[in-house]
Chains A and B, each alone.
Chain A
Amino acid sequence: MSATSPAPLLRVENLTKHFPITAGFFVKREVGRVRAVDDVSFHIAQGETLGLVGESGCGKSTTGRLVLRLIEPTSGKVEIEGRDILSSTPAEMRELRKGMQIVFQDPYSSLNPRMTVEEIILEPLYVQGARPGPEMTRRARKLLETVGLSPNHVVRYPHEFSGGQRQRIGIARALAPQPRFVVCDEAVSALDVSVQAQIVNLLQDLQEEFRLSYLFIAHDLAVVKHISDRVAVMYLGKIVEQADKASLYASPRHPYTQALLASIPVPNPRLRRPRARLTGDVPSAMAPPAGCRFNTRCPHATDLCRTVEPPAIEAAPGHVVACHHVASIPAVSPLAPQR
C-alpha cells in the first residue's frame, strides 16, 4: 500500500543528527560526536502508520523529534505535504505545527501538573492565537469525549487521573489542532498491557476517523505489528530494514531484524525455533563500527561487512534492506512455526 500510493504526507530524506561532545573551559572544542541519527530516509502516506522499532538508544525517539523539528537536525530534509519544514521561518513553523503533533511516552511528565485538563488540551489552540471562552470549553469537552473520557473532567488536574487516562488526555491535546500527522513516541510503552490495548485501539479508531498518519515509535514488536502498515527497523542511528508489515514479519531479510523477531516470546512451550540470539552490547554511537554497524554482533559478518557500509537495496518490491548478504541469508521468519 505504500510504494504505490501517490504523494506521501511526510517525506524524510537523509536525515542526520550528530550531537557534538564538547570539552574545554573557555573555548569549547568538539572532541567527538554522537551519531544519534545517521542518514535516515522514509516516507509516510496519508492515513498510514509507519512503525519505527529498535533497541533503546538506537535513535528512534530522536528521529521522531527531528521530524517535528523539536531538535534541529544536522542535515537532511523533512517535508510535510510538500513543504520543507527545516527551512521554514518561526512563523511558518507555528502554522505547520498545527498539522503535526506528538504523543509522549511518559503520561506522568507529559502533562503540566499546574494546569487543568482544559488548559492542557487547548494549549495548542491558544498558542495558535485562539482566545479562551465558552466555545473553547465546548471544544475541550468534545475532545475529551473523542478520546473516551468524561467531558466533565475538563476542570480536573492531571494528578487526579490514572496512567491510561492521562495518556488519553495527551492524545486529546495532540488532536486539538486537527493534525494530519502524529508522532507516537513510545506512546503505549509505559502502560499496563490491558491499558496498552485500549490506547492502541483508540489510536486506530482516531486514525480511521480523522485520516491520521502515525509515526509509531516503539520497542515492542508485537504492538508495532498490530498497529503498523509498514515497519522500519533502526540500529545505531540507521534504518537497516524497511518493509510493509506482512513482508517484514513473514520474511525478515536483515540479520538484526531476524534476531529481534526471534526475541518475541511465543506462547507455546513446545515450539522450538532456530535461535538467532544476539550477543554482546550495542557499540557506542560515539564510535560506531566501520562498515556495517551491525557487524560486531552479526552471525553472518564477513570482511566486506567490516569495511564497506552496505547500501540500502530493494530486496523485494517495497522491501528495503541494508545488508551485503541479503541474497545469501535465508529470509526465514523466526515467528513461523517449525517442528
Chain B
Amino acid sequence: MIGLVMFSFVVALAVFAWWIAPNDPNRTAIRMRFRPPQLDRVLLLGTDNLGRNMLSRIVHGAQLSLLIGLGVVLLNSVFGVLLGAVAGYFRKLDGPMMRLADALMAFPSILLAIGIAAALGPSAWTAVIALSVVYIPRTARIVRASVLVVREMEFVQAARASGAGHWRIISRHIMPNCMAPLIVQLSFIFAYAVLSEAVLSFLGLGAPPSIPSWGTMISEGRTYIREASWLTIVPGCAIALTVLGLNLMGDGLRDVLDPRLKIEQG
C-alpha cells in the first residue's frame, strides 16, 4: 500500500510536470547558480551548476524515467510473454530458447545493457531497447515456468478434446492463468529499469543532456558533491523513492496474487 502511494506520487509528478515545474528545466541562469534548497515555491530544491531549477529538472526527469520504465515493461510483456509462452508450450523449442536465455542471463545485466547501449549509440530509445534485451529473458523464464504448470491441467486437455487450436489454448486457457506471477515480475522489472536507466544516463549512454534525467543529474552534480551536495542527493532520493515504491508495490501484489492462494480458490 505504501509502495502504491509512493509510486503514485512519482507518477503524479511526471504527469503534472508542466504544472509543477516552476520554469523550463533547461533554462540556465548563471547568476542563480548553486542556490541551496529552501522553503520557496521556486527554489524548493535549489539550482544546479548552470542555475537550472532542480525542481523542474526532477519532475521532468520523472517523465523520462517512467517512460523508459514503461517502455521496457511493455516490450517485456509483449516479447517476454510471447517467447515464454512459446517455450513453455512447444516443448521442442524449449531447450534451444532457454539456452539462449541462459546465455543472455549469464552476462551481468548492467554490463550487457551498457554494451548494447554503447553499440546502438546513446538515446532514450536505445536505453529502452538495451534494457528490454536484458530483462526479456527473465520475463520469458517466469512465463515459461507458469505455462509448464498450467499446460498440464485438465482444462487444457479438455480444450484439446474439443478441438481447440494451439493459439486458442494459449490465449484463452493458459495465459489468463499465468498472469499473477507475471504482473509481480513486471512491477520489479519496472523498478530495475528505472534504476538501470539512471545508471546508463550516469555513464552518458542514456538520453542526451537536453532531456533532464536523474542519472545525468547525478553525473553532472558529482563534480560539486562537496560544495553543493543537493545536486546529487536530490535526484538520488528521487530514484530511491521510485524504486522503493515499485518494489514495495511488487511485494504487495505478490501477496495479493499469490499463486498458491489462487489455485485454492480456483
Chain A residues with a Cβ under 8 A of chain B: 65, 68, 70, 93-94, 97-98, 100-102, 104-106, 108-115, 120, 123-124, 127-128, 157-160, 170, 173, 177
Contacts and interface: CB of A to CB of B under 8 A. Distances in A.
Contacts of A109: 153-155
Interface of B: 153-155, 157-165, 168, 172-173, 176-177, 262, 265-266
Task: Report, nearest first, the 6 A-B pairs whose CB atoms are least far apart.
Answer: A159-B266, A124-B162, A110-B154, A94-B163, A97-B163, A114-B176
B177 A112 contact: yes
A158 B266 contact: yes
A159 B264 CA distance: 9
A208 B5 CA distance: 62
B154 A123 contact: no
Contact of A93 (B163, B172, B173): B163
A101 B159 CA distance: 10
Given A127-B168, A159-B265, A159-B266, A110 B161 contact: no
B191 to A, nearest CB: 27
A112 B163 CA distance: 16
Contacts of A123: 158-159, 162, 164
B159 A102 contact: no
Contacts of B161: 68, 70, 97, 100-102
Contact of A127 (B157, B162, B266): B162
A123 B168 CA distance: 10
Contacts of A113: 177, 262, 266
10 contacts: A102-B158, A104-B158, A110-B158, A112-B155, A123-B164, A127-B159, A127-B168, A128-B162, A128-B163, A158-B266
B157 A70 contact: yes
A121 to B, nearest CB: 11
Contacts of A101: 161-162
B154 A105 contact: yes
A94 B160 CA distance: 10
Contacts of A160: 266
Nearest to A170: B158
B83 to A, nearest CB: 22
A180 to B, nearest CB: 15
Contacts of B176: 112, 114
Given A110-B155, A113-B177, A114-B176, A157 B162 contact: no
A112 B162 contact: no
Contacts of B173: 112
Contacts of A110: 153-155, 157-158
B163 A104 contact: no
A124 B168 CA distance: 12
Given A104-B157, A114-B177, 19 more contacts: A70-B157, A97-B161, A97-B162, A98-B163, A109-B154, A109-B155, A110-B154, A110-B155, A112-B155, A112-B176, A113-B262, A123-B158, A123-B159, A123-B164, A127-B168, A128-B162, A157-B266, A159-B266, A160-B266
A111 B164 CA distance: 15
A93 B153 CA distance: 22
Among the interface residues B158, B164, B165, which one has the most CB atoms of the partner chain A within 10 A? B158
A23 B164 CA distance: 32
Contacts of A65: 157
A108 B158 CA distance: 13
Contacts of A104: 154, 157-158
A177 B162 contact: yes
B87 to A, nearest CB: 17
A158 B265 CA distance: 9
B77 to A, nearest CB: 18
Contacts of B266: 108, 113, 157-160
A128 B164 CA distance: 8
Nearest to B262: A113
Nearest to A120: B155
Contacts of A127: 159, 162-165, 168
B155 A111 contact: yes
A108 B176 CA distance: 17
Given A93-B163, A123-B164, A173 B158 contact: yes
B160 A70 contact: yes
A160 B265 CA distance: 9
Contacts of A97: 161-163
A115 B177 CA distance: 10
Contacts of A111: 155
Contacts of B164: 123, 127
A170 B158 CA distance: 9
Contacts of A105: 154
